[in-house]
Chains A and B, each alone.
Chain A
Amino acid sequence: MAQRAQYLGRHNPEISLGQKIWQLNWGMVLLVGIIATMGLGMLYSAANGSFDPWASRQAVRFGIGMVLMLLVALVDIRFIFRVSYLFYIVALLLLIAVEVMGSIGMGAQRWIDLKFIQLQPSELMKIAIILALARYFHGVSQEDIGRPAFLLVPLCMVLLPSALVLRQPDLGTTGMLVLASGAIFFCAGVRLWKFVIVLISGLAAIPIGWQFLHSYQQNRVLTFLDPEQDPLGTGYHIHQSKIAFGSGGIFGKGFLQGSQSHLNFLPEKQTDFIFTMLAEEFGMVGGLVLLSLYLLLMIYGVAIAVRSRNQYGRLLAIGLTFNLFLYVFINIAMIMGLVPVVGVPLPLISYGGTVMLTVMMGLGMVMSVWLHRDIKISRRGVQDDF
């Protein structure tokens, strides 16, 4: 079997730095570059045809993010494996720190001011939770996965940060943490009926959870269920978003020609609602192009996950890819009025530092999984069997 394994790995799993750079997934890097460039264009348009105040700063962040992504891609997956828990604990501590001393912005405590960047620990946690779960499930045998006792630890790993983020309160991030974790549980092989139980108990908990929501969050949900009830109040954003979106038509109004966006009808056009602006200026064609680019990126991610020869890499790649999917889906569904407004940005496009950096760091890790696809990691620990 060892021979066969050796044979299947067409080359030595340990490769040099030069080989790594050569084998790096340049297609993916190109995709990321195209998407981010589109984002910069939209930010340029959002400022009524000006690089200030958004596009220029976002370009710098993208530059830093690109370097970070490539560096992370080259990091040995075993190192990432080793620091998984550490990363998770640091993110968790930061989350607690925001809770204690976070500065207040937009009515929610989400930032730690590190002077050069407004750090959002909840964004870091989106990656940290995937790392931690991937490492945990890597170490659990197939038989053990069937035992409920083995699910207690990962459940706690998910629930602890989720509860903290929910307290901030950030419904969108909480949802993403839970769903991305669910995807890892699912791909790790947890039995389907257990998901059914969680789903049912989750539905049963809705009335209780409702009480703990802030009134603006309750309003957002109510508005989503009946947007006509208050078109100038809470429903205003989504109503204006739909007008801008729909008026774009098939081919759009043209770059810098989106009247709704430029006359300030569109709220938060540089962050959460940037896709609306794209759809207004470039129409359905523009929207489909961007969606296809994201889809290609996700296909890369899934292919890398399936191709990886260690469970950690597989779960890591699929978790990060699913995370990307969640960003894209929730954001676009939100601005089209399919799900409540929850404040999820569009990755690589929306203005914002932490999201840009964490998304690109995540993509860097996916690339690292690719570069170290043939490396095997033992169930219990760091050491390679070979």
Chain B
Amino acid sequence: MPMVHEDQDRHKGFTRRVLMLSCGKVALLSALVGRMYYLQVIEAEKYKTLAEDNRVNLRLLPPRRGKILDRFGVELAGNQQNFRVVVVKEQTPDLIATLDALSLLIKLSEHDYKRVLRDVKRKRAFVPVTVKDNLSWDQVSSIEVNSADLPGASIEVGETRFYPFGADMSHILGYVAAVSEAELTGDPLLELPDFRIGKNGVEKFYDQEMRGQAGTSEFEVNAYGRVIRELSRKEGASGREMILTIDAGLQTFVQQRLMSELSAASVVIDIENGDILAMGSVPAYDPSAFNLGLSSAQWNSLINDPLSPLTNKSISGGYAPGSTFKMAVALAALKEGIGAHTHTAFCPGFMKLGNSKFHCWKKGGHGRVNMIEALQYSCDVYFYDVARRIGVDNIAAMANRLGLGEKVGIDLPGEKPGVIPTKAWKEANIGESWQGGETLVTSIGQGFVLTTPLQLAVMTARLASGQKKVVPRLARGYREGGQAYGFARSEFEDLGIPEEHIRIIHQGMDAVSNHPRGTAYRYRIKEEGWELAGKTGTAQVRRITLAERQAGVFKNEDLPWRRRDHALFTAFAPVDKPRYACSVVVQHGGGGSTIAGPIARDILRETQRRDPARAAAISLKPRSGSDNTGDV
């Protein structure tokens, strides 16, 4: 039968095709097996790691930031509980209704609404979104009372940095703020959304000390990030509490006293151990503002302010020291063999060098003066004379020894080295050779010379001590686990200046303040045993032209603020048994004696009244061995 024939042919063809098809199937199934082998054998370790990651989430518990205390334990920076109201989307049937109800209690702006709705959309339904921060106690209680009408809303407690002294301490303490992109180091702690780090001052310099150790919490989570349960929890350790050398009472006084001027700085230092007791800089800013977040308008007004409120002028401001530099010149002259009493100079009111005329500040001149008189009257011509004899490099060497022209090593960020010019310095930085006239200008602390108020205070402290190369410091130690430890310090180096030379300087500075013809006699301390020895300084910020000089020098009050002279005063007290040194710089203040003098007097009087160096501070246990052992 043909049909059977045909069917047998068909059957054969069919079988052949089925064989081909089956081969294809087997090949494809082999591919599956190969893929299984790849994923489950070759790549198994990788996926096991990923799976473990999926299952367990590690959450960092931010540590409590260490406080900052003054030398007596007064809290300068602490942590305040910060109440905030949050909403959880999945807990409210109508988010807008909840926000509307909240708005009746705490007033939400249009902007708040938008931000909350945006955050809610970005985050998962069970993640709390902050509605408002820094609630007052009244607001917190009104929300708690009305919680029945606020489904999904709840109060959370966080911590924010708190500065009880506000602007009075801002330049010393600095501030904390959210971590910026550039500051990320890979430490996951820094990536926490609410984490704050020190951005300036002590907060920045001792950030690591105060930061503490983060705790960890291990959670089992599902794919949606919802926490199933906590697997383990390791509490972190709070940061160290920093104990500063500052006396909060004195600091407040200094800062308030400086506020009589537009822009000024002052440093008070204990000459025995270099402890900075006060460090004022005006104007200042409110450090809490950075914690809450500044608006860009606020930020712009801060950075564009010509009085630069963000700059700690004590360490970052460079000012020509004017006549306060003359002690350095005098010591250099003594070192080079110029006798304090034997050598004299005649001051007719000017000195001629080549074709130039270099003026003394007193038009008629001082007549014949020796070194002590020259300091007492602040005679410029005497210093022109000795400077010409000894040369600028000798002056610079002495200035360096006194702490000028290089960083003194204060434990704060942003310290400036200032400038003490030498011949080599001018060649290197300006590319011109040194001119003789520049030596004269340098000798009265003008021209290239730039110093910071801190350097002037250190210089005065070294002069007052006479023996030790005093190095300043801002932190005495730290407290950890209830025990206070002092930072180890090496002994001060020897200053290397003969005692008789120092005595000359002390005599000169004593005469400035306590001799009736001294330039600062009016601003002496009258209380017996508290007398100060000082030196005035007035630094020009403009060149006085010949025409001006002939027409009569302008009074500072007649000049615009920017062109007025800087007023300076450096002093130590008490004069017979020095303990405190102080520098005052009033930017564009006018005359040193009349403007800076009374400020320095008031500060040194208050310092001696409080006498913080002798009052009982927090007692510190010296840290035995190296600093990084024994941490528990």
Contact = CB atoms under 8 A, between A and B. Distances in A.
B4 interface: yes
A17 to B, nearest CB: 27
A378 B5 CA distance: 13
Contacts of A81: none
A62 B627 CA distance: 74
A249 to B, nearest CB: 5
Greatest chain A CB density within 10 A among B37, B40, B43 is at: B40
A296 to B, nearest CB: 12
Given A189-B17, A263-B221, A264-B222, 9 more contacts: A2-B4, A186-B17, A189-B10, A246-B40, A246-B44, A260-B51, A291-B29, A325-B25, A332-B32
Contact of A263 (B10, B17, B55): B55
A311 B40 contact: no
Given A1-B5, A249-B44, A291 B32 contact: yes
A287 B21 CA distance: 23
B137 interface: no
22 contacts: A142-B9, A142-B10, A186-B17, A186-B20, A246-B39, A246-B43, A246-B50, A247-B50, A248-B40, A249-B48, A263-B54, A264-B223, A265-B222, A288-B36, A302-B18, A309-B7, A310-B7, A315-B14, A318-B14, A329-B25, A336-B35, A338-B32
Interface stretch (A19-27, A92-100, A111-119, A236-244): A236-244
Given A189-B14, A333-B32, A284 B37 contact: yes
Nearest to B46: A246
A88 interface: no
Given A142-B13, A279-B36, A306-B18, A378 B51 contact: no
A243 B50 contact: yes
B33 A250 contact: no
Contacts of B221: 263
A329 B27 CA distance: 11
Interface string B1-33: 101111101110111011011100100110111
B22 A284 contact: no
A187 B14 contact: yes
A188 B5 CA distance: 16
Contact of A284 (B6, B11, B40): B40
Nearest to A266: B223
Contact of B7 (A244, A260, A283, A311): A311
A159 to B, nearest CB: 22
B228 interface: yes
A243 B47 contact: yes
A370 interface: no
B480 interface: no
A325 B23 CA distance: 13
Contacts of B33: 288, 291
Interface centre among B5, B25, B41, B43 (most CB of A within 10 A): B25
Nearest to A294: B29
A263 B4 contact: no
Interface of A: 1-2, 5, 141-142, 183, 186-189, 240, 242-250, 259-260, 263-267, 279, 283-284, 287-288, 291, 295, 298, 302, 305-306, 309-311, 314-315, 318, 322, 325, 329, 332-333, 336, 338, 376, 378-379, 385
B39 to A, nearest CB: 4
Contact of B48 (A189, A246, A329): A246
Nearest to A285: B40
Given A265-B223, A295-B29, A314-B14, A333 B35 contact: yes
B219 to A, nearest CB: 11
Nearest to A265: B223
A214 to B, nearest CB: 24
A245 B42 CA distance: 12
Main secondary structure of the interface of B (DSSP, over half): helix
Interface residues on chain B, size class: 35 or more
Contacts of A287: 36, 40
B48 A247 contact: yes
Which one of B43, B220, B221, B223 has the greatest number of beta carbons of chain A within 10 Å? B223
B14 A264 contact: no
B44 to A, nearest CB: 5
A291 B31 CA distance: 12
A208 to B, nearest CB: 27
A81 B5 CA distance: 22
Contacts of A279: 36, 40
A362 to B, nearest CB: 17
A141 B13 CA distance: 12
B27 to A, nearest CB: 11
Nearest to B47: A246
Given A2-B1, A189-B10, A329-B29, A250 B35 contact: no
A227 B310 CA distance: 50
A247 B50 CA distance: 8
Given A243-B51, A311-B14, A378 B3 contact: yes
Given A142-B10, A189-B13, A264 B40 contact: no
B187 to A, nearest CB: 25
Contacts of B47: 242-247
Contacts of B7: 309-311, 376
Contacts of B3: 378-379, 385
